[in-house]
Amino acid sequence: MQYKIEKNDISTLIDILASVYDLFGPVKTDGLTKLARIKSASNLDLESFNTDESAKDIFFPQYETIFNFKDGEIKNEFDKNRPIAIFGIRPCDAKSFLILNKAFNNGGVNDSYWNQRYTDAMIFAIGCNRPSQTCFCNWVNQGPFNKEGTDIFLIDLGDDFMVESCSSKGDDFLKNVSKITLQNPNPGDLDKVNQIKREAEILMSEKLDLAPLKSILDTQLLDSPLWNEISAKCLSCACCTYLCPTCHCFDIQDEKKPGTNQGSRVRMWDSCMFSLFTQEASGHNPRPTIASRMRQRIMHKFNYFVENFGEIACVGCGRCVRTCPVNLDIRGIIKRIKNEG
Ligand code: SF4
Ligand code: SF4
């Protein structure tokens, strides 16, 4: 069911959400738009395009304590006390949560740290009226108005937002929200939505069919010189994987206070682009070259994840395209691989 709400009502909506949830939204800081904790709509930035950093840090922090230990005793320090809500993320990031959720609940092993944050979270996403030149969500079976992974979906109509519930959590929320007037959209509003969607589609690059990619990667490219060519200018800086909403590799370390039996077990993001990622205690490194690490990054997203979970582990957000210091464009890599088929 679709409703229309006035933009003036957004601040009331944010107040309602902030009173119940640990609320995050896009905020401009130092020239970058990031997802940060918000208590009101005063610093909410819904005008900028997608956030520079992805939303994964909210459910899968870059660095977190798993537990503390002291003299053989373990104490779980998990700090969540209210459910999380995110207001104003884009469809690609909402979809990325579904991909990460598969990785964190896999083969009978459930990541309680991810689940405790993500499972009861409320996700409010906003469609992308003006996708950027670096967006390619249409290549990965999504689009600027894709609702997967969303509880409430909004479309900016100018003076109003179109609002739609996409889950039972979203239904309950809209049923019980009393301080905001939910209007029934008129035919003119629906025409406007269609027009906005058409204009957004024109801004997207032409769709590329990625279905053949898996079998090309499976059968032809393991030892191909192509990887040297593709990765020739890569610096192995890992910027692409840290900003990627679907990359989820992490490391676990024990940090002990010197001279005590006290410390913490922590986990932090790791990256397949780092040379130490696969280095073994013997010193042997099965992926010693940048080319072998680039192969792993591409294989994981477009081959292994498809094999294990039935979908590509890329949502086409374009962050890696925008931020790579040497302009290595994953779209070019994908096209190059497709040409090998
Ligand atoms: S951001 Fe660019 S240079 Fe850095 S690891 Fe990724 S592809 Fe290589
Ligand atoms: S690989 Fe690049 S485009 Fe794809 S989800 Fe990650 S950052 Fe976004």
What does the pLDDT look like over 287-330, one tens digit per residue?
Answer: 999 999 999 999 999 999 999 999 999 999 999 999 999 999 99
In this structure, the answer to whether residues 221 and 199 fall within a common structural domain is no
Count of C-beta atoms within a 10 Å radius of residue 15: 14
> Ligand 2 test: best mutation among 319, 324, 333, 337, most atoms within 8 Å of CB?
319
In this structure, the answer to whether residues 178 and 126 fall within a common structural domain is yes
Cα–Cα distance measured from residue 4 to residue 189, given in angstroms and rounded to the nearest whole number: 9
In this structure, the answer to whether residues 40 and 162 fall within a common structural domain is yes
Of the three residues 154, 181, 203, the one that is the final residue of a domain is 203
Of the three residues 181, 203, 225, the one that is the final residue of a domain is 203
* Model pLDDT, residue 47: 87
Residue 140 is given by DSSP the state: G
Q: 212: pLDDT confidence band, cut at 50, 70 and 90?
A: very high
Please state the separation of Cα 71 from the chain's center in Å. Answer: 39
Query: What pLDDT, in 10s, does the model give residues 245-296?
Result: 999 999 999 999 999 999 999 999 999 999 999 999 999 999 999 999 999 9
Q: 77: pLDDT confidence band, cut at 50, 70 and 90?
A: confident
> Which residues have CB under 8 Å from 257's CB, separation 6+?
263
In this structure, the answer to whether residues 185 and 259 fall within a common structural domain is no
* Structural domain contains residue 22: yes
**Arithmetic mean of pLDDT, 135-161:** 97
* Model pLDDT, residue 220: 81
> Which residues have CB under 8 Å from 119's CB, separation 6+?
none
In this structure, the answer to whether residues 33 and 129 fall within a common structural domain is yes
* Structural domain contains residue 163: yes
Residue 155, SS3 per DSSP: strand
In this structure, the answer to whether residues 52 and 136 fall within a common structural domain is yes
Cα–Cα distance measured from residue 174 to residue 3, given in angstroms and rounded to the nearest whole number: 10
In this structure, the answer to whether residues 194 and 312 fall within a common structural domain is no
Q: Among the atoms of ligand 2, which is closest to the Cα of residue 321?
A: 2
Cα–Cα distance measured from residue 317 to residue 53, given in angstroms and rounded to the nearest whole number: 11
In this structure, the answer to whether residues 238 and 328 fall within a common structural domain is yes
* Model pLDDT, residue 81: 79
Q: 76: pLDDT confidence band, cut at 50, 70 and 90?
A: confident
Q: Among the atoms of ligand 1, which is closest to the Cα of residue 271?
A: 5
* Model pLDDT, residue 60: 97
Indicate the average pLDDT of the chain: 95
* Model pLDDT, residue 169: 96
Q: 48: pLDDT confidence band, cut at 50, 70 and 90?
A: confident
3-class SS letters over 156-191: ECCCEEEEEECCHHHHHHHHHCCCCCCECCCHHHHH
**Arithmetic mean of pLDDT, 187-209:** 95
pLDDT(78) > 80: no
* Structural domain contains residue 184: yes
pLDDT(39) > 80: yes
Range of the domain at 86: 2-59+70-203
**Arithmetic mean of pLDDT, 18-36:** 95
Q: Atom 4, ligand 1: which residue's CA is nearest? A: 237
Ligand nearest to the CA of 237: 1
In this structure, the answer to whether residues 175 and 310 fall within a common structural domain is no
Identify residue 10 by its one-letter amino acid code: I
Q: Atom 8, ligand 1: which residue's CA is nearest? A: 234
* Structural domain contains residue 64: no
In this structure, the answer to whether residues 98 and 161 fall within a common structural domain is yes
pLDDT(5) > 80: yes
Structure tokens at 299: 């294989």
Question: 172 CA distance to ligand 1 centroid (A)?
Answer: 43
pLDDT(31) > 80: yes
Q: How many domains does the chain have?
A: 2
**Arithmetic mean of pLDDT, 130-156:** 97
Could you tell me which of 33, 86, 90, 56 has the C-alpha nearest to residue 246? 56
Query: What pLDDT, in 10s, does the model give residues 81-116?
Result: 799 999 999 999 999 999 999 999 999 999 999 999
**Arithmetic mean of pLDDT, 164-181:** 94
* Structural domain contains residue 333: yes
Cα–Cα distance measured from residue 314 to residue 54, given in angstroms and rounded to the nearest whole number: 12
* Residues forming beta bridges with residue 123, ordered by sequence position: 86
* Structural domain contains residue 208: no
pLDDT(222) > 90: no
Q: What residue ranges line ligand 1, CB within 6 angstroms?
A: 234-240, 273, 324-326, 328
* Model pLDDT, residue 33: 94
Q: Give the number of C-alpha atoms closer than 13 A to the C-alpha of residue 150, restricted to the C-beta side.
A: 25
Q: Is the pTM of this model over 0.85?
A: yes
Q: Atom 6, ligand 2: which residue's CA is nearest? A: 244
Q: Atom 8, ligand 2: which residue's CA is nearest? A: 317
In this structure, the answer to whether residues 175 and 29 fall within a common structural domain is yes
* Structural domain contains residue 261: yes
pLDDT(80) > 80: no
Ligand nearest to the CA of 290: 1
327 contacts 201 by C-beta, under 8 angstroms: no
* Residues forming beta bridges with residue 65, ordered by sequence position: 266
Of the three residues 203, 225, 250, the one that is the final residue of a domain is 203
In this structure, the answer to whether residues 197 and 156 fall within a common structural domain is yes
* Structural domain contains residue 65: no
Count of C-beta atoms within a 10 Å radius of residue 107: 6
* Model pLDDT, residue 279: 95
Please state the separation of Cα 38 from the chain's center in Å. Answer: 19
pLDDT > 70: percent of the chain:
99
